Structure 1
Amino acid sequence: MEILCTRPGCSHPQNNFSDLDDPSKLKTVQQKYCTSCGMPLILTGRYLPSKLLGKGGFGAAFLAQDRFTPTMRLCVVKQFQPEGNLNAQSLAIAQDLFEREAVILEDLGSKHPQIPQLYAFFPLVISNPITQEEEQFFYLVQELIDGEDLETELKRKGIFLENEVIEVLHEILLVLQFIHDNNCIHRDIKPSNIMRDKQGRLYLLDFGAVKQVTATAGNPQKRSTGIYSMGFAPPEQMQGSAVYPATDLYALATTCLNLLTGKSPEELYDSYNNRWNWQAHVTQVSEGLANILDRLLLPSPSERYQSASEVLQALHSSQTQGSSSSTKTSIQASANPPIPSPAPISPTPKKGFSSVDLLIYSGFTGFEGAILILGLKSFLAAPGIIIGCIIITGLIYLQSRRILDKKDLFIVGIITALLLIFCLIFGALGFESVSFLLISGLVAAAGLIAITSLFKLIYQLLSSVL
């Protein structure tokens, strides 16, 4: 049997003991020690680490077996192992966060089926074989969720469909509702901290950053420690200000955007205009879900939904109203107690233009503009130019406000073609004049597309620099 040494920096952490292949000896042996550094291998005489699962800012996680259970139950052993040379104050904060995770898991994990349970929390004091000084390690043992986190799932299968995102939103909102009702704030919602087990159930992980609710909107002096995941955390958390349930809701919304688009939050936020531009990166999203996500992403905590219950109510309402849509996901209203109607949702920012949209609209404007101005000029001279410019200005305005979409542009193009055919048939314009108008329109369209592409490139270059 192989047991992994958990001492940080051990040169040969793998240890093989053939005698432990005998179940009777495995259950009764007192202790085994690392053949390289002398570290006790059977943690607190009970847990046998066998595989390194990963390392984070404050520790390492190991897959282990519990030999005090009949089935040698698999579990996760987390060791407090902060990275870098921390000063005394930072080390104390890090250790406090690790211990807080154990306290929260003990309290919440036993009460909610989608939060891992705590099995044990213990220190280990041993002598360093080189310095002969005592070293202290802290371990946390929790339930193993056998599955795949959503960050890994996104990389494996690609972007989530809207109904899949709604499922994640609904399930994690229920967990957050429980957490917030127990006066806690998670503070680190992101895809890598949401695990889907092999039966499809979603779990919320990593409670090391959990903060007890000690601040309210009326007591902003209570500040938060600077712990967050870049891109997923809202402005108040990154500034080290007080955090609220709305802080977790913002992070959950950015998580949904990441799953819906496959892009990081930094790619979806337009820092030049200081607004989210996520809808330009999805092919289709229902108005109900878009409204909910946009409100959750508002910069001020007071402008967002104030509780997971409010979001669940809004989500249920939007799904009920859109029951005929193909993106509907059934949400059981009976799972939630009666909830007061939420405050009116703030107006949703207009959807931005994709690069393809810009080129299509530019080409259309150039083509129609040349035909209208030159055509009217041939009939009305100078006043015709003015009228043509006014009409084109109106078309540009209607496009910018999304009143005219690509289908409408196609209809306008057909009307223009019919007018040209009418003028040609009834002799108002000769064949050469119609040909000249068409060629002029195509040249103007190509020219405007080229100019738009150039300005788009310059804008992207400046945005990346600034």
Structure 2
Amino acid sequence: MELLCTRPGCTRPENSFADLDDPSKLKTVPQKYCTNCGMPLILGGRYLPSKLLGKGGFGAAFLAKDRFTPTMRSCVVKQFQPQGNLNAQALAIAQQLFEREAVILEDLGSKHRQIPQLYAFFPLIVPNHLTKVEEQFFYLVQEFIDGEDLETKLKRKGIFTEGEIIEVLDKILWVLQFVHDNNCIHRDLKPSNIMRDKKGRLYLLDFGAVKQVTATVGNPQKHSTGIFTAGFAPPEQMQGSAVYPATDLYALATTCLNLLTGKPPEELYDSYNNCWNWKPHVSNISDGLANILDRLLLPSPKDRFQSASEVLQALPSSQLYGGSSGTKTSIQTPVNSTVSSLPPTSPPTISVPNPSPITPSPKKGFSSIDLIIYSGFNGFEAVILIFSLKKFLAAPGVVIGFMIVSGLMYLQYRRTLDKKDLLLIGTITVCALMIALVFGGLAWNSVSFLLMAGLVGGAGLIAVASLFKLIYQLLSSIF
């Protein structure tokens, strides 16, 4: 097996170990060391780096395997490795951002399927092979997303259509709404930080620049750490001022301009007139989408849309869903932000003044258990009501029965009725049948028939609903 040394500057990082190809020894073999510089190769005792994915401003990213998982799960190992001659303050901020990325991924990645999960975060202290002085490295291990980032896709296939832009907006806005609802701001949105996996799901990557919001009323934070990518960041971020949800929305709009035109944002901005001039570079774009992008690109944060949900409501042809379905799996784009406009004082407290209220994310769909319970209940009630009302009201009874069951289904869809309410309604129905049996002269065989028919109706509706759900999942995985 080939292992790659992660020490910066190692002149011969490739290493080969035949015993690692033996599955019976792979999980128990002791630490391996670089034959050139002596750097430990099995990171954290379990991660086997095999390929350099890329380098950025704060680190390098490696493709690796986890030897302690049954399938040798692929993962991305990011090493804190700041480039350039950073002063002590800039180095401290860079390390703070790297550690913050681990914290954010542990929190958000475990809750949202379009954000990579964190697997591990650990330091490594080793002697320098030349100076013999101890060096400290930090590693972050996260989910590997097997796919292509939008920057690479733009270079490969050319500019995006309006429909493709609307899809990107629709899916990424839901992720941003989730991020903002969890009191975070991404601060580095750009095409290379949006990844589409092989199943078509879009992921939001690179949370190294994320700012956690801890707003204090009456005591707003005046400055923001100067982390951004030139051309994509809004004025308030480039000036080192406070950042808001609208800051991310501006960057998402510049991302869309880049994908629509194939040109970097700097070429679409008229610095002489101090305004955006992107429309001459785009053909066949609707006024609706153009107006949304123009508003997102306004220089003042207060004049833009204030939340991702507001943009979703205005978005033409929006599918209004919170991300695609499927299993998480992507190639992580390495960190490539730039450190700029660092404040002259110590690293700032991560806070922001009075962020705009954000509309809660949409309610989640029904689980499989919910589907069984609601389908069974609706089938049971439909049969009981239709047969019972038909006996007393003839044809109008069938219509009334359907109307009542339709109303119940609507209330379930709106989550007005929960499972306790269904139990109560079902109990009332059975009790009504028993009362009709005892006091209303209803024959026992009629009650037995109704109850049996209700159970059959419930089982039948469960089967039909399950079949439709299976068909929907199959079609979703294909398309």
Same fold (TM over 0.5): yes
Alignment match, 1:51: 51
**Relative contact order, CA 8 A, sep 6+: which one is greater?**
2
User: After superposition, where does 1:258-273 map in structure 2 within 5 Å?
Assistant: 258-273=258-273
Please say if 1:135 is aligned against 2:135. Answer: yes
Partner Cα distance (2:29, 2:210) in 1: 38
Which secondary structure does the structure 2 equivalent of 1:110 belong to? coil
Aligned positions of 1:222-237 closer than 5 A: 222-237=222-237
Code of the residue aligned with 1:289 in structure 2: it is L
Q: What's the secondary structure of 2:79's corresponding residue? A: strand
**Counterpart in the other structure of 2:41:** 41
Residues in 1 aligned to 2:360 and 2:103: alpha-carbon distance in whole angstroms? 28
Give the distance between the partners of 1:241 and 1:215, measured in 2 at CA.
Answer: 14
2:31 equivalent in structure 1: 31
Give the corresponding residue for 1:459. none
SS of the aligned residue for 1:28 comes to coil
Q: Aligned residue for 2:286?
A: 286
1:56-455 equivalent positions in 2, closer than 5 A: 56-215=56-215, 220-315=220-315, 318-319=316-317, 330-332=319-321
- Most deviating of 226-235 and 206-215: 206-215
Q: Distance in 1 between matches of 2:160 and 2:234?
A: 23
Contact 1:48 1:67 in 2 (8 A): yes
Query: Deviation of residue 170 (structure 1)?
Result: 0.8
Do the aligned residues in 2 keep the contact of 1:257 with 1:278 (CA within 8 Å)? yes
Q: Deviations over 1:95-131 (max 9, x none)?
A: 0000000000000000000000000000001112222
Report the count of equivalent residues: 328
CA contact (8 A) 1:196 1:202 kept: yes
Query: C-alpha displacement at 1:214, in angstroms?
Result: 3.4
**Structure 2 counterpart SS, 1:37:** coil
The share of aligned pairs that are identical, in percent, is 81
Q: Look up the SS of the partner of 1:178 in the other structure.
A: helix
CA distance in 2, matches of 1:71, 1:181: 35
Amino acid at match of 2:211: K
How many Å separate the matches in 2 of 1:99 and 1:311? 31
Change over 3 Å in CA distance of 1:112–1:333 after alignment to 2: closer
Would you say the 8 A contact 2:177–2:361 is kept in 1?
Answer: no
Cα deviation 1:222-242 (Å, max 9, x = unaligned): 310111000100000000000
SS at match of 2:160: coil
Is the CA contact 2:170–2:319 (under 8 Å) kept in the aligned structure 1? no
Quote the Cα distance in structure 1 between the aligned partners of 2:185 and 2:166. 22
The alpha carbon displacement at 1:21 in A equals: 1.2
8 Å contact from structure 1 (residues 220, 241) kept in 2: no
SS in 1 for 2:27: helix
Shift in alpha-carbon separation, 1:337–1:226, aligned structure 2, 3 A: closer
- Deviation (angstroms), 1:273: 1.1
Change (3 A) 1:270 1:57: same
Aligned-partner Cα distance in 1 for 2:181–2:235: 23
Distance 2:166 2:195 in 1: 16
In 2, Cα distance between the equivalents of 1:214 and 1:260? Answer: 35
Gaps of 5+ in 2: 325-358, 363-479
Q: Which has the larger radius of gyration?
A: 1
Give the Cα–Cα distance (whole angstroms) in 1 for the partners of residues 100 and 310 of structure 2: 28
Q: Deviations over 1:128-155 (max 9, x none)?
A: 2222211110000000000000000000
Say which SS state the counterpart of residue 228 (structure 2) adopts.
Answer: coil
8 Å contact from structure 1 (residues 269, 277) kept in 2: yes
Alpha-carbon separation, structure 2, partners of 1:176 and 1:330? 16
- Contact kept? 2:148, 2:196, Cα under 8 Å: yes
Relative to its length, the structure with more helix (as a share) is 1
Distance 1:56 1:299 in 2: 28
CA distance in 1, matches of 2:216, 2:272: 32
Match of 1:439 in 2: none
Residue identity opposite 2:107 in structure 1: D
1:225-261 CA distance string (max 9 Å, x none) = 1110001000000000000000000000000111111
What is the distance in 2 between the residues matched to 1:203 and 1:148? 10
Stretches of structure 1 that go unaligned for 5 or more consecutive residues are 320-328, 340-466
Structure 2 CA distance for aligned equivalents of residues 7 and 333 of structure 1: 40
Contact 1:60 1:79 in 2 (8 A): yes
SS at match of 1:189: coil
Q: Does the CA contact (< 8 Å) of 2:190 and 2:252 recur in 1? A: yes
Instruction: Classify the secondary structure of the residue corresponding to 1:57.
Output: coil
Q: CA deviation at 1:84?
A: 1.3
- Counterpart CA distance in 1 for 2:212 and 2:148 is 28
Is the 8 Å Cα contact of residues 19 and 25 (structure 2) preserved in structure 1? yes
Q: Distance in 2 between matches of 1:262 and 1:334?
A: 25
Secondary structure, aligned partner of 1:33: coil
Q: Deviation per CA, 1:203-229, whole angstroms, max 9, x where unpaired?
A: 000000000113589655431011100
Q: In 2, are the aligned partners of 1:215 and 1:242 still within 8 Å (CA)?
A: no
Alpha-carbon offset, residue 58 of structure 1: 0.5
In structure 1, what is the Cα distance between the partners aligned to 2:323 and 2:212?
A: 29
Q: 1:25 to 1:16 in 2, by over 3 A?
A: same
User: Using a 3 Å threshold, how does the CA distance of structure 1 residues 172 and 219 change in structure 2: closer, same or farther?
Assistant: farther
**In structure 2, what residue type is equivalent to 1:222?**
K
TM-superposed deviation, 1:332? 4.8
Q: Distance in 2 between matches of 1:108 and 1:69?
A: 23
With over 3 angstroms needed to count, the CA separation of the structure-2 counterparts of 1:163 and 1:218, relative to structure 1, is farther
| In 1: Cα distance, 2:323 partner to 2:71 partner | 38
Deviation at 1:11, TM superposition (A): 1.2
